[in-house]
Structure 1
Amino acid sequence: MSAFAAVDVIRVKRDGGTLSDEQIDWVIDAYTRGDVAEEQMSALAMAIFLRGMTSAEISRWTHAMIASGERLSLAVSRPTVDKHSTGGVGDKITLPLAPLVAACGAAVPQLSGRGLGHTGGTLDKLESIPGWRASLSTSDIQSQLEDVGAVVCAATSGLAPADKKLYALRDVTSTVESIPLIASSIMSKKIAEGASGLVLDVKFGSGAFMKTLDQARSLASALTSIGADHGVPTTALLTDMNVPLGRAVGNAVEVAESVEVLQGGGPADVVALTLALAREMLALAGLDVDPAAVLASGEAYEVWCRMISAQGGDPSAPLPTPAHVHTVVAPSSGVLASLDAYAVGVAAWRLGAGRARKEDPVQAAAGILCLAKPGDTVTAGDPLLELHTDTPDAVPAALAALEGGFTIADSAPEPGPIVVETIRAEV
């Protein structure tokens, strides 16, 4: 590979030019090895943030990040398919979805992350189950996929190490919101996992990273294009995240709600989105199975129990309960017209369900139960929200986050569909 000077690569993008494949390959490799300094990559990230990238540049940038580490080879007897969500409030869908799709005959290698800010992390939720462990070796992942059909765990250290460095850098240089950098970050890890198909849940709205449908559509288009370029059939669902998903927001409370879904109950919106994503995953896996019938049969719950047990957890153990519960009541009678996902997410975070920095601990029992959702009729004094925490001193800050976060009126607008649009990319 030809060597370049980092300052020359930065200048090309600063001036609105297009980086060559060779420049991209070199700068990612050199940055991973430490030959490109943090301040130089910071400048390049800001230039990309301001100038953007062509689809060809984004695809090559993703390729270079994949090449910075290992790529899992999932030699299992089932078709492999994965799912990724861009993050939301109450988004526990991975928990019922992975065992459901496995119960339908696919293998689901779900390498997940932790929460930061107002959006929760799948690993944080699962770690509220006594004994459950997030870290697995590559051989553990392989054998569990073959035996159980589903794995939800932390990414192995060898996957896309360039992305780990760049992700941390973007967080402190105000370049997180760049669609080229978001898309390549997501897809480098997902493609390196080795699944043969990928379904993306790209959320928009107050509780999502992308606030508007247009922004979500742009990101989904970039993500599916990268998948197609790398030979991975990819489908993106654009889903509404203006209202918390389900009634539970937090860690143990979301696990409990996920188990309800797997046992045939749970909130209608969680069930609907789980089934919508399952149908897309099964289509990519080439499996003609009705996930609704499998969910109703109880087979998915059986896979859940096996999946949790395989990772050291006790699926029958009681989940952690909070030391303190504070109830928010309706200030007047009427119809709950709105419940802002962002406000609820920030409140849950302040109660201890999330973290401000990646090294911060989280409380397993912290979270919020939404006892009413938009469209529900309420009477003054009725409980609306139940705040769970082990630190009562956190309640005032959570209540401050909820100020203006819900409205009670004479009526509520008709709810729209949770899945607004679908974008598919064929290979």
Structure 2
Amino acid sequence: MIRTKRDGGVLSDAAIDWVIDGYTHGRVADEQMAALLMAIFLNGMSAAETTRWTAAMVGSGERFDFTALRRGGAPLALVDKHSTGGVGDKITIPLLPVVMACGAGVPQASGRGLGHTGGTLDKLESIAGFTAELSKDRIRQQLSDVGGAIFAAGELAPADRKIYALRDITATVDSTPLIASSVMSKKLAEGARALVLDVKVGRGAFLKTEAEARLLAQVMVDLGVADGVATRALLTDMNCPLGCTVGNSVEIAESLEVLAGGGPADVVELTLTLAAEMLDAAGIDGTDPAETLRDGSAMDRFRALVAAQGGDLSRPLPLGTATETVTAPQGGIMGDLDAMGVAMAAWRLGAGRAQPGDSVQSGAGVRIHRKPGEPVAAGEPLFTLYTETAERLPAALAELDGAWSVGAAAPTPRPLVLDRIG
């Protein structure tokens, strides 16, 4: 198999099934899988190979089946969303209860952050008592009772967990077929029959160019459709952070503002756009996602979901006690914000991790007081930094240096949604 792929050949279905099963169960050595991954990285995979590789990873563990769940005598429409990761990307947190309030069920397998990209589970675990470690039976019961669950992937696609760890240390992460199969193996295993992908593009995204993002989105959409899951993707801008907070608890607080009918315009816009796509993909019509924010039904669903998973929203969210404020050197208009610079500042403050298993500070993060195009007065706050470790502040401030500007003219506005695929 290594030789075949090294020489640009095509792997058979039987070979792919064998190597995924063998590596998952320890019969294929790390050295051999590393060599095969590098050959795939260099020579790619055909659409058929990628489809089979993904199916084999799905088959390496249990595939959830919630088709027996019903609501009002009809099958519960199950739909999910996945983001490729961004800066301030807290969209899952207000989005799921909006979709739940519109009548869909949402089984959401989520992850923890690594590097500059924040993880949904890290954010939710800043809520006192919240747990993402749910059994399949508990997920099923929660879908039935409250309409949604946000949980760690656990034993879904165990081959992916093992292969990703090897890709991380062998410089084979940046491969479209390997990225697509990694994402889709977990999403196809979680039991939803419709899926919307939010593929980020720009400075704060994993994919920097629209061409790269478009290719990955199309491959993932094709994988979903081939598996019988109604799948579509949106390409969305990630040059500037989403919303006005980057971190863990600070993003939960902002999400609660959105669920209460307020919050930053870009977070509200993307939440409602993705909700409309999810409901359409699930075949649910006649509902208005925006109404769930106005009438409080989305907030009710979020509170029910958090309570079902042990969380207590009556307890204050943690916030770092060591702070630093960056002020405007002169008046003018806020220029572009470099999403990567802000993300790295939050990471330096302790909001993210360098290696899997590292701990994170729930109260670490950055609050953005002025967004691009907004007027700025000399001396007013632009950013507030939070951490529990004061010695982290200088490095975080250094990351912010050069990531923003105040000038005489507003930057050219960019659309939040760049394109739709599928």
Residue 379 (structure 1) shift: 2.2
The total of aligned residue pairs comes to: 415
Asked if 1:259 is matched to 2:241, the reply is: no
Distance in 1 between the 2:376 and 2:227 partners?
51
Shift of 1:300: 0.3
Return structure 1 stretches of 4+ with deviation > 6 angstroms: none
CA distance in structure 1 between the aligned counterparts of 2:198 and 2:176, rounded to whole angstroms: 15
Alignment partner of 1:121 out of 119, 122, 125: 119
Aligned match of 1:187 in 180, 184, 187? 184
Superposition deviation, residue 93 in structure 1: 0.4
Structure 2 residue identity aligned to 1:52: G
Deviation of 1:257 after TM superposition, in Å, equals 0.4
Query: What is the distance in 2 between the residues matched to 1:365 and 1:210?
Result: 28
Aligned match of 1:205:
202
Q: Helix, strand or coil: the match of 2:336?
A: strand
3-state SS, counterpart of residue 384 of structure 1: strand
Aligned to 1:270: 267
Distance 1:39 1:292 in 2: 52
Q: Distance in 1 between matches of 2:267 and 2:420?
A: 18
Provide the rounded CA distance (Å) in 1 between the counterparts of 2:64 and 2:238: 32
- In structure 2, what residue type is equivalent to 1:193? E
Taking only aligned residues, the RMSD between alpha carbons, in angstroms, comes to: 0.8
CA distance in 1, matches of 2:306, 2:334: 37
- Whole-Å Cα distance in 2 between the matches of residues 315 and 278 of structure 1? 24
Structure 1 letter corresponding to 2:371: K
Structure 1 CA distance for aligned equivalents of residues 361 and 392 of structure 2: 12
CA contact 1:138–1:156 (8 Å) conserved in 2? no
Match for residue 372 of structure 2?
Answer: 374
Match of residue 415 from structure 2: 417
Is residue 11 from structure 1 mapped to residue 9 from structure 2 by the alignment? no
Show structure 1 runs of 5+ residues with no match.
1-8
Do structure 1's residue 69 and structure 2's residue 84 form an aligned pair? no
Alignment correspondent of 1:20: 12
Partner of 1:172: 169
Given residue 340 of structure 1, which amino acid in structure 2 is its aligned partner?
D
Amino acid at match of 1:71: R
Partner Cα distance (1:219, 1:421) in 2: 13
Q: Do 1:204 and 1:238's aligned partners in 2 also have CA atoms closer than 8 Å? A: yes
TM-superposed deviation, 1:399: 1.0
Q: For structure 2, which runs of at least 5 residues remain unmatched after alignment?
A: 71-75
Within the candidate set 29, 47, 56, 2:39 is matched to 47
Q: Distance in 1 between matches of 2:147 and 2:396?
A: 39
Letter in 1 for 2:130: W
- For the residues of structure 2 that align with 1:139 and 1:179, how far apart are their CA atoms? 34
For each residue in 1:203-244, what CA deviation from the matched residue of structure 2 results, as whole angstroms up to 9, or x when unmatched? 010100000111100100010000011111101000000000
Aligned partners of 1:409 and 1:218: how far apart in 2?
Answer: 36
Q: Counterpart amino acid of 1:250?
A: G
Give the alignment partner of residue 101 of structure 2, picking from 97, 100, 103.
103
Q: 2:24 aligns with which of 14, 32, 36?
A: 32
> 1:190 Cα deviation (Å)?
0.2
Residues 275-286 of structure 1 mapped to structure 2, 5 A cutoff:
275-286=272-283
CA distance in 1, matches of 2:147, 2:121: 18
State the identity as a percent. 61
Query: Could you tell me how far 1:18 is from its partner in structure 2?
Result: 1.1
* Secondary structure of residue in 2 paired with 1:355: coil
Map of 2:343 onto structure 1: 345
Question: 2:379 & 2:358 partners in 1: Cα distance?
Answer: 36
> What is the CA–CA distance in structure 2 between the aligned matches of 1:386 and 1:147, rounded to whole Å?
40
Provide the residue aligned with 1:322 in structure 2: 320
Q: Letter of the aligned partner of 1:18 in structure 2?
A: V
- Report the TM-score when normalising by structure 1: 0.96
Q: 1: distance between equivalents of 2:293 and 2:377?
A: 35
8 A contact 1:111–1:153 mirrored in 2: yes
Shift of 1:332: 2.4
1:94 aligned residue:
92
Q: CA deviation at 1:156?
A: 2.7
* One-letter amino acid of the counterpart of residue 423, structure 1: I
Counterpart CA distance in 1 for 2:237 and 2:222 is 22
Measured in 1, the distance between the counterparts of 2:158 and 2:378 equals 53
Q: What is the Cα deviation at residue 294 of structure 1?
A: 1.9
Cα distance in structure 1, aligned partners of 2:233 and 2:329: 40
